[in-house]
Structure 1
Amino acid sequence: MPAFASLKKSGRPMPVDMKGPTQVAQTIIDLVGKNHPVISEMRIQGPGFIMCKISPLYLQGHIDTIMCTKSLPKPPQVGPQQTCLVDFSSPNIAKEMHVGHLRSTIIGESVCRILEYVGFKVERVNHVGDWGTQFGMLIQFLKEKYPDFKNSMPNITDLTGFYKAAKERFDEDAVFKKLAQLNVVKLQSGDVECLEIWKILCDVSRLEYQKIYDRLDVTIEEYGESFYNDKIPPVIEEFEKAGTLSIEEGGAKCVFVDKFKVPLMLQKSDGGYGYDSTDMAALKYRLHTVNAMRIVAITDFTQGDHFTMCNQAARDIGWVDKGQKLQHIGFGTVQGEDGKRFKTRSGVTVRLVDLLDEAVDRMEASLNERIEQGKANISPDEVHGVAEAIGYGAVKYFDLRRNPTSNYKFSYDAMLDTKGNTAVYLLYARVRFESIMNKAKAEYSIDVEELIKSGEKIVIGHEAERNLALQIQSFADVLDLTLDDLLPYHICDYVYDLSIAGSNFVTQCRVMGSPEMKSRLMLCYVTAMAMQQCFELLGIREVKRI
């Protein structure tokens, strides 16, 4: 239709029979011809749309390549020299990780896996809050409550309780508050005792965080706010020399960015540093020391303006000098069934460890019930390991399958549903293909791996086979789309559509004992492999049997 409109506007003479879009469409079809290597059929639909059908032989070639190389197609690699830095998770020292850290942690891990898959060298950065005024309060509380901390390490693994008790003292006791404020100055000046206590708090916190990261298969390297402390003064000096530093009333040193009335405060009026100071120093370090070509920060969406200002200030001063890409992925709130921020019945923020435990416990109960009913292919000894894989995978997928900018209601029942767009359904769907291949080996002595080695080819005939092959080979397009915005829900949509196409295939096409058995077994193999690759990108563990 646009082509016909362009022809009319061009003023060139038109063939007598070129009276509308359908004639243009027919001309295109005639010129493509019947022996095209990719298109097997073309037809006009509606007022001028051309519907194309992909050739089964073309699809077969793609699927055979995937099967033989055991690798899904990828966009062109970015090259081993390109570094991408992903800033994610970022809890605060002396505070337990809670449900608010869930999204940043699992989105960040998936983003890293996607970037690594296509060839980026990825720096996985945990920008923990390990520096600031709250440490004066925590240091004073530890000194008073555990005076012998040097010889006897205190048991402060209940970080939330420890922090809460220190905060109560800070709010209620003026003397304590004054000593806490003096501790901040001492800490920032390098006082030995304060640094020692600070290190204890950091070490205890790290041990607790690592337990969560191990359970979620998250790999991350800590670069806390303290790491950038000595890098802040040179950044302030650089803005000063550039003439873009503004001294505000009281002596605060600020940088104004276009379209924002509130500036970035690089130094407070009392000479201290804050959030803006640290993030600008971190940005300079990442751009010019790490030499990252793409920097992705993953935080709550409310910090969007802050990162927009930081990134623009970096561009204004000339730090973004090699075409680097600066990106912020902001995520919405995890809500309870009532539509409010997800909390316990008593109104306390849900600890991340409790959320994970609950998911595993529920999945374990479900699996034990299936064993009792004779519906499971695992032994009681395997239940806990499988429950962890499915439970953690369910938590991740329930979050990742959405656009992160949206809020969502957290529901264990919906998350662990065996039907619909859930990790549980997808893992079961993949296990179904594994089961078919295992049955072929046990009952027909056909090993799919041996079939592939022998050079056997897949033949695509049935429409359900064709649709499945088309879905498998579209992976590169989906990955290309994902690399643009780095939102994992594209991969989730793909693997869900793949599972639907796979389910239709095994429902409509008999595999066991059919004349096409060998070809269809290999198609099962490629489908299971494609699903597993998606699970790996999403950080979901493999399950062979359920």
Structure 2
Amino acid sequence: MAIHKILKDKGVADAPKAPRDVSARIVECIPKNKVLLKTEIAGPGFINIFLDPAFIAESFAKILKNGPQPPASQPQEVVVDFSSPNIAKEMHVGHLRSTIIGESICRVLEFCGHRVHRINHVGDWGTQFGMLINHLRTAYPNFHEQPPNISDLTTFYKEAKKRFDEDAEFKEASRTSVVTLQAGDPYSLQCWKALCDVSRIQFQMVYDRLECAGLVEQGESFYNSRIPDVVKELTAKGMVEESDGAKIIQCGKQFPLMAVKSDGGYGYDSTDLTAVKYRLQEMKADRVIYVTDAGQSEHFEMIFHAAKRAGWCEGGARLDHVPFGLVLGDDKKKFKTRSGEVTKLVDLLDEAVTRSLTHLRERMNTEGSTTQMAEGDLEEASRRIGYGCVKYADLRQHRISDYQFSYDKMLDLKGNTAVYLMYSYARITSIKARAGVKLQDLANVLPSVQHPKEYQLVLHILKFPEVVERVADTLLPHLICEFLYDTAEKFNDFYRDCHVIGDPLQSQRLVICEVVAAVMKKGMSLLGITPLEKI
């Protein structure tokens, strides 16, 4: 109908007189092919297209042979900046979201054939280190001979902050310690290194649980020596202005970027400007992605504006900010412990495993339950389910949305949860096992697509590359979650209405089971979830 209006408005000679006539012309121009079974013109000019079942079956069978395939794309160098905890502080739920979302994005981009650099922009420099180093020096004077146990970073940081807030002499000495550190004083650097090393151990405990590997640390200190040259370059390009003793860059917002503070020091703005230049020009990134909370959206908008104005994005390099919302507790406020403390991520993740183990034991002890496992298998299953549930509960939300953290909801067997997906996947593998048919015996078998439930499921699975392509572009992992949940729902509908084992169509339907399982496994792996073959 829109095409008819355009032709009419332009006065095209010999234009079809009605929308249905336009549709008829279009249908006439479609060449004979193996994709379409038929076309129909409906209503005022809609064209209904019917795919050929043979084409659908052949396309589906290719997945059995080649495995789930990514969409076609031109390989790129991609930098993903995510997680980014602060040295000498516990990782909190904001870091959990950044780590889970960032890792999933990396996996999707790698699946698409891109070379991905996982960068951990840790907060390892700045004024707070003067406070921490001064506390370490004064509270533990024998630091060299008897290094203190500072594994409890939260307590150590609180002790230093209390002294900083209450003791004017300590505060002034802490400011001096910052200057000493930045000047390269060996003792100060030793203290700084000790704090960084302890923090890395704490961070790695979280990363191991989340199966997040390959993060390369390039913290604030990494860029510190490069900042002066970047400020000089931006000044030479006429982007830097003087303002009350500071050097600023206007980006069309209420507040400017601070290139150099009034005291001559550098802050987050100058560090992030230097980081984006380094990633674009020295790492040769075609795309740079930042995964942080939504509160930093304007900051990165300004950083990107300045980078483009400086000419660092020449060649079409793409800069993306991936903002996300808050994690809320039962009271719908920022997630904390009952005492009001920020929850340690290791404790939060381990609690999910403990609860998962309890659920599995209860299920095993239920009369008529098919869940039977050895103790070692039970513990491994509880880890996969527990960690998987935390990841999926986060990723299934549109990342901009705040979400309410609830162990009960994420471990629910019903609804859009990781448990439901994992049980659905295990159900498929059990069907395959009971059939006793080897994969090579199905190599030349096409799936049956005659039953409506078969057709719907097969057609849905063929959309997987399209979903992956959308996620790679929009950086919205919840689209994979939606696809997987729909897959599980459609498979369960199929299995209810289409008998598999012992049916004349057993082989054709086992092909469907094999491919659905393979696609579900790949989809879950893109979310950082490892499914169980048996539950």
Pairwise same-fold verdict (TM > 0.5): yes
Any residues of structure 2 matched to 1:1-400 within 5 Å, and which? 1-12=1-12, 20-26=18-24, 28-29=26-27, 32=30, 36-70=33-67, 72-79=68-75, 82-219=76-213, 220-249=215-244, 251-257=245-251, 259-373=252-366, 374-400=369-395
- Measure how far apart 1:330 and its partner are: 0.7
Measure the CA separation in 1 of the matches of 2:290 and 2:324: 11
Measure the CA separation in 1 of the matches of 2:17 and 2:341: 70
Aligned to 2:445: 456
SS at match of 1:123: strand
Measure the CA separation in 2 of the matches of 1:45 and 1:340: 52
Measure the CA separation in 2 of the matches of 1:488 and 1:5: 39
Residue 518 of structure 1 is aligned with which of 507, 516, 531? Answer: 507
Larger mean CA deviation between 413-422 and 182-191 belongs to 413-422
Measure the CA separation in 2 of the matches of 1:51 and 1:400: 35
Q: Deviation per CA, 1:340-362: give whole Å up to 9, x if none.
A: 11112222222212221221111
Amino acid at match of 1:545: K
Tell me, yes or no, if the aligned pair for 2:484 and 2:520 is still in contact at 8 Å: yes
Any residues of structure 2 matched to 1:418-429 within 5 Å, and which? 418-429=413-424
Aligned to 2:468: 479
Tell me, yes or no, if the aligned pair for 1:98 and 1:353 is still in contact at 8 Å: no
Measure the CA separation in 2 of the matches of 1:228 and 1:423: 39
- Measure how far apart 1:32 and its partner are: 4.3
SS at match of 2:73: coil
SS at match of 2:289: strand
Amino acid at match of 2:272: D
Measure the CA separation in 2 of the matches of 1:231 and 1:95: 26
Measure the CA separation in 2 of the matches of 1:296 and 1:479: 17
Larger mean CA deviation between 473-482 and 295-304 belongs to 473-482
Aligned to 2:406: 411
Measure the CA separation in 2 of the matches of 1:432 and 1:46: 43
SS at match of 1:292: coil
Amino acid at match of 2:386: G
Aligned to 1:435: 430
SS at match of 1:204: helix
Measure the CA separation in 1 of the matches of 2:201 and 2:323: 27
Residue 500 of structure 1 is aligned with which of 489, 492, 515? Answer: 489
Measure the CA separation in 1 of the matches of 2:279 and 2:103: 19
Measure the CA separation in 1 of the matches of 2:411 and 2:9: 57
Amino acid at match of 2:478: Y
Tell me, yes or no, if the aligned pair for 1:139 and 1:198 is still in contact at 8 Å: yes
Tell me, yes or no, if the aligned pair for 2:134 and 2:173 is still in contact at 8 Å: yes
- Change in 2 beyond 3 A, CA 1:241/1:8: closer
- Measure how far apart 1:489 and its partner are: 1.1
Tell me, yes or no, if the aligned pair for 2:323 and 2:399 is still in contact at 8 Å: yes
Q: Provide the aligned length of Structure 1 versus Structure 2.
A: 532
Amino acid at match of 1:432: R
Q: TM-score, with normalisation over the residues of structure 1?
A: 0.94
Measure the CA separation in 1 of the matches of 2:281 and 2:17: 61
Tell me, yes or no, if the aligned pair for 1:83 and 1:291 is still in contact at 8 Å: yes
Measure the CA separation in 1 of the matches of 2:240 and 2:144: 44
Unaligned runs of 5+ in 2: none
Tell me, yes or no, if the aligned pair for 2:105 and 2:472 is still in contact at 8 Å: no
Q: Deviation per CA, 1:59-118: give whole Å up to 9, x if none.
A: 111111111112x23222323xx3100000000000011112111010000011111111
Amino acid at match of 2:199: S
Amino acid at match of 2:88: A
Q: Deviation per CA, 1:350-399: give whole Å up to 9, x if none.
A: 22122212211111100001111233142233112111111111111111
Tell me, yes or no, if the aligned pair for 1:342 and 1:349 is still in contact at 8 Å: yes
